[in-house]
């Protein structure tokens, strides 16, 4: 599961890390509380090279009459992505990297307020989450939207949540983006247990209106 993230890296740094040409309409950064349906930073690749571009976080199947015409699809399960009508064409032809500094996940304990954790790469590198995307168009309105691909949790994540975004290492980016041929399915696996850092943070992030660096500050 991935339902909230933070993006703090400047645009020029993101473009350099991913060797991508940045669009001129990227979302503002830093954003410490990125919520579904807002624009996120996405890397795609085609014959012209890599692009860093904005996309709505929340995949819109072609048959939706409007963007809110069905369930909000912010995640796509790796186990079923190739079979689901909403996702199967995109995972074959429209894969992307969804860039974040980290994401939030909530540990749920009975009779208590869910406790948020901020999850980053242990090496402090930007997080490249496997994603899929497509254009949706209706009555003259065109929206480019994406979803995060998720897998079962690794042993480090399991005490907090049973799902985890598919997090790709730099050597895997060309294959996921389609630059290095076919056969990307084996990449849809949990990252190594020691690849992530978990920071318990304030419940202030439980509000989707909260902002500021205090949201990722550790608490006891």
- pLDDT over 70 (residue 139): yes
Per-residue pLDDT, 40? 98
pLDDT single digits (tens) 182-195: 899 999 999 999 99
Q: Three-state SS for 185?
A: helix
Longest Cα separation, the chain: 53
> Average model confidence (pLDDT) for the chain?
96
**Separation of alpha carbons 81 and 83, rounded Å:** 5
> Which fold is adopted by the domain 5-105+124-195?
hypothetical protein yedk fold (3.90.1680)
Count the helix, strand and coil residues of the chain and give each as a percent rounded to the nearest 5: 15, 40, 45
For tokens 């400047």, the residue is 10
- pLDDT over 90 (residue 62): yes
- pLDDT tier for residue 110 given thresholds of 50, 70 and 90: confident
The percent of residues above 90 in pLDDT, for the chain, comes to 94
**Separation of alpha carbons 23 and 52, rounded Å:** 6
Q: What is the mean pLDDT of residues 108-119?
A: 91
For tokens 């993006």, the residue is 7
Per-residue pLDDT, 1? 63
Q: Is the dihedral of CA 140, 63, 128, 162 positive or negative?
A: positive
């Amino acid at each position: 599961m991935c339902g909230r993230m933070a993006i703090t890296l400047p645009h020029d740094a993101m473009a350099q890390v991913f060797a991508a040409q940045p669009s001129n309409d990227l979302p503002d950064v830093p954003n410490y509380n990125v919520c579904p349906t807002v624009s996120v930073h996405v890397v795609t690749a085609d014959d012209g090279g890599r692009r860093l571009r904005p996309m709505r976080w929340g995949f819109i199947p072609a048959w939706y009459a409007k963007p809110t015409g069905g369930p909000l699809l912010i995640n796509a399960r790796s186990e079923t992505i190739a079979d689901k009508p909403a996702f199967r064409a995109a995972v074959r032809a429209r894969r992307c990297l969804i860039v974040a500094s980290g994401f939030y996940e909530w540990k749920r304990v009975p009779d208590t307020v869910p406790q948020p954790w901020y999850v980053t790469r242990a090496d402090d590198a930007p997080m490249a989450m496997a994603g899929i995307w497509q254009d949706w168009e209706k009555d003259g309105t065109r929206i480019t939207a994406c979803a995060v691909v998720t897998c079962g949790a690794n042993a480090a994540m399991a005490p907090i949540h049973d799902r985890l975004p598919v997090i790709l290492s730099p050597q895997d980016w060309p294959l996921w983006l389609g630059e290095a041929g076919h056969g990307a399915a084996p990449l849809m696996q949990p990252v190594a247990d020691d690849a992530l850092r978990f920071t318990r943070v304030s419940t202030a992030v439980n509000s989707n209106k909260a902002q500021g660096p205090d949201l990722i500050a550790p608490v006891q």
